Structure 1
Amino acid sequence: MQQQQQQEMLKNLTNQQVVQYNKMRQDYAEIFRVYLDIEDERKEHTLVLDAVKNIDPKRRCWRLIGGVLVERQLEDVLKSLKESLELLEKTGQNYNTAMKQKEKELLDFELTHNLRPQQNQQQQQQSVGSSKTQGVLT
């Protein structure tokens, strides 16, 4: 039913506008996927740093670099891990900014062309449904 409603809304648009809207949604989805990947990498780096922070910095450790296992001292690995973590955080912030900008563009397009995304419809239906079922427990 929701898919039919969306198709009806898209019928009022020209082919070019539909293509533009779908492209914007795909771009947003791609930015979001990359952002999630970066956040996962950042979390992994943080976990590793937390796990080895109390270990002797002169201890030998191995790091996988480009498919090759390399032996180094922990202090060298920690330094490069911290640099990688900083880079991931900056990149994540950039993608977060790009994601917000793309989201704003999508919302502007939807408002301009009188479109309502499925998620907003579902949220409105849930809020209407939940307001009907509210009661007082004694």
Structure 2
Amino acid sequence: MATDASKKPAKTGQKIAAKSNEEVVQTFQRLRTEQRQLVNKLSELEMDLNEHKLVIETLQNVEEDRKCFRMVGGVLVERTVKEVLPALTSNRDQMVKLIEALNQQITVKGQEINDYKEKNNIKIRGQQELPAAQENADAAKVANQGFR
């Protein structure tokens, strides 16, 4: 009976260790998913920003009383250039600020992922070990891709 009692704690300990490893992996995957979502949102906003810039450049060379059409909430609305241009400029400025904030969030999330990897000794298959400084530099390059 003494041997049976000594085996039970060992099995329970192994289950707890295995569970914690699974939790570590799940948390790591969640962090990476959050980072990917931020990068996708950043990419989407950068495309919208480029469209806004293109339209603003086009409308600046047009008479202010000329008719133009704008999509508002899925409805095409007729306006004048004089009415639309300030709204587009305001939207563009807000997008620039939002893009800067997203870049900072991506950088912070990358640092959080790197810290989590180091803390839990996570190794990714197929990835060569890089010094921490190189990983941070790579994360910063990804975050700043849109400002070229």
Settle same-fold status: TM greater than 0.5.
yes
The AA in structure 1 aligned to 2:38 is: I
The AA in structure 2 aligned to 1:72 is: R
Q: CA RMSD in A?
A: 2.3
Distance 1:33 1:119 in 2: 24
The share of aligned pairs that are identical, in percent, is: 25
Distance 1:92 1:119 in 2: 32
**Correspondence for 1:56:** 63
Distance 2:35 2:84 in 1: 35
The equivalent position to 1:106 in structure 2, one of 103, 113, 129, is: 113
Q: Does 1:35 align with 2:42?
A: yes
Partner deviation per Cα, 1:58-96 (whole Å, 9 max, x = no partner): 111111111211111101110100011111111111111
Aligned counterparts, 1:1-138, within 5 A? 14-117=21-124, 120-121=127-128
Q: C-alpha displacement at 1:115, in angstroms?
A: 2.7
**Correspondence for 1:131:** none
Unaligned runs of 5+ in 1: 1-10, 124-138
- The count of aligned residue pairs is 113
The AA in structure 2 aligned to 1:92 is: I
Q: C-alpha displacement at 1:34, in angstroms?
A: 0.6
Structure whose alpha-carbon radius of gyration is higher: 2
Unaligned runs of 5+ in 2: 1-17, 131-148
- Answer 1 or 2: higher relative contact order, Cα 8 Å, separation at least 6: 1
The AA in structure 2 aligned to 1:67 is: G
The AA in structure 1 aligned to 2:63 is: D
Partner deviation per Cα, 1:94-117 (whole Å, 9 max, x = no partner): 111111110000111112223344
Distance 2:129 2:47 in 1: 29
